[in-house]
Structure 1
Amino acid sequence: MKQIEGGVTAAKGYTTAGTRAGIKKGKTNKDMAMIFSEKPAVTAGTFTKNLVKAAPVLWDKKVTDAGVAQAVVINTGIANACTGQAGYENAAETAKLAGEALNISSDTVLVASTGVIGFTLPMDVIADGVKKLSGMLKSDVQSAQDAAEAILTTDTHPKQIAYETTIGGKTVTFGAMCKGSGMIHPNMGTMLGFIMTDAAISKNLLDKALKGSIEDTFNMVSVDGDTSTNDTVLVMANGMAGNPEITEENEDYEAFKEALLAVNTYLAKQIAGDGEGASRLFEVQVKHAKDKQTAKVLAKSIITSNLTKCAIFGKDANWGRILCAMGYSGAQFDPLKVDIVMASEKGEIALVGNGVATAFDEEKAAEILSPDVVIAKVDVRDGDAEATAWGCDLTYDYVKINADYRS
């Protein structure tokens, strides 16, 4: 498996486009994107566990349950959440418009929205955007870049990745993009994520692979503790790589899962590192827990601790906040067995051994906490399980961004 250039157009048979439709008045950024598969693709999705679900989530659940999709339409600026029956009808109308423009069934069109909650979509603008995008679709790298830019809200940069691997003697490609910066505390996936592959795989195994991958990637990310109404991760597999269809949990399935995990891990880390106002990515590695669930609970408790996040921002080796977050997590462990090491490209420093402070150098610790990526290595010495979670520091800018988000 190797990383290659590109995003959602990297795999065979996919075209895309991103443009400005004008959803939010007075803005100049791109705000709509479209992805199209030359052939109908097996599809799967994971969605927010928030009881308040946006209209696009409800529509997409119907499409992914049916199992086949051929296009995705994405808009930013308006989330189409908490918009009642009118919101659902607008999601369905968006799919209908795209189906007519692309000469495919509207039942194979997925839709996704992100932005401010409580506003209905300006359907005249959406209609013009769909028509414009359908005539711009291309398979080149620049089009993938345009689409990755068009789905952003408060993100500071596009997030996309592509990988090649070998499955069944054929070269199989995965191309993906996502967006997410605030309201990130997934209980399934991220804000919006789109994964396109030319692999041939059955619907039930695609579902299983996606859900398994989500648990160790997007479900291990938190920026601010808020689970969005619009969280959606979609994967489409059009089979154009020509590999024998994956219908059993064999070597080919393992290769598929490995590539999907690599894609989702990269995207999850990109989201965490680009949290609203963030100045550094904070990674927490919990090792030697008694079971996987304990390791996951401990890791996520640490990255969601606001006090720990503030300490990371201040380059303060305040290890007490880490141990405290572990203690209230609900996971069972022996505090007197815990070792904590902080690491970065500047080196490593042990802060805690057997549950108590070491005689560490504060200046050296501050230096290690200074780079863009900071890692906490937490050893609970109670078993063989491990888990990794990703978050970010908590800065002044987070409050500034969210204090005037609607404007």
Structure 2
Amino acid sequence: MKSLRLLFESLRFAWQALRANLLRTVLSLLGVTVGIFAIISVFTVVDSLEANIRQSMNFVGDKVIYVQKWPWAFGGDYPWWKYFNRPNPSIREFRELQRRLTPENHRGVAVFAARGGNTLKAGTNSVEGIALQGITFDYRSVSSVPIQEGRYFTAQEVDASRNVAVVGYDIAHNLYPNGSALGREFRTQGQKFTIVGVMEKEGKKLLDTPSNDTNCLLPLGAFTKMFALSTGSLGGAQATIGVKGTDDDPGLLNLEAEVRGAMRNIRGLKPREEDDFALNRPEMLADAITKLFSVIGVAGAVIGSFAILVGGFGIANIMFVSVKERTNIIGIQKSLGANNLFILSQFLFEAVFLCLVGGAAGLFLVWLVTLVPQDALKVSMSLNRITLGLGLSVLIGVISGIVPAVIASMMDPVIAIRSK
């Protein structure tokens, strides 16, 4: 109880001292405000940039192994020209993988192919530069297909290669701006398709990566009516096999080993022959992004720390001045029974309170920045960054105020009372 009363009295004295020198208090706050604003804004922008880039890469999926001709990252001593001689994944290999892979090790196997730069027409309306993507039924297990209106393909529609389509939001809106696109038709590459589903709007991405807004999904059989797969340059489309892993396989090590073994067996590779296919995983991109932004975050923290350092020096200077001005009052308080802890707490709380108010003002400015509308980069401040900002404010207050507070608490009351 005595400790609580001591705490309350210390806070009351600190508050009265701050109110008595309001202008000086405000000027002292500015240094901390600028410092917290600098470092938290850097962290917030870096976090938002990383989140937006990761969101832009969502099209590659999560916990997926892609069987492709080309690797996403080149490395080692493997001659680059040998990649040209590799065969493309085929529909036959997809069927074989489906049959050979252990069901417990995966959640779905799909094959898909895409070709961009297509024009879709519906009456007098048309959209250009659209990516047509032929898929098998399990594609939605490998990659996200968020349906906003309508439905996904049925297994019968995919097996029968029916001319149905699931289109992106922009396609549906541009082809049929005055009503629902469900059940309506469009033409492309000389074929007529019926829209059975419309995907959710993704909006503008930071990176120019494939977007569902301009993507048109078709059953693979309907796609192959228009484009050739896996052979030469006919149609320009190449198949990719995707295998979705499970949560029970950390790192997808078991699935990767099984897929590699199955593909080598399907292609008849001898034990000493090199793989003539690539197993690509989104983790490659995720690890590269994490390393990149770790470096950027450290650089931003170093730059922002200089601003905080300046703010801390300002608070320390004000506290030394405050101790000097109130030396006589310190002597009177000690003569009336105030102990060293009370005096130390009084000045230390004053420094911490100053920094907390300044830090809160800096966080408020960062929050205002997040309200600025941005199409490509959505900036948001997380609770972790708010906690970091307030924690840094308290730390600055303790470091800046501890020396003046100790000096004040160690004063001789007789000498302090005689000071002017």
* Shorter-chain TM band: under 0.3
Higher strand share: 1
Higher helix share: 2
Q: Which has the higher contact order (CA 8 A, sep 6+)?
A: 2
User: What is the TM-score with the length of structure 2 in the denominator?
Assistant: 0.25
Kindly name which structure, 1 or 2, has the bigger radius of gyration based on alpha carbons: 2
User: What is the TM-score with the length of structure 1 in the denominator?
Assistant: 0.26
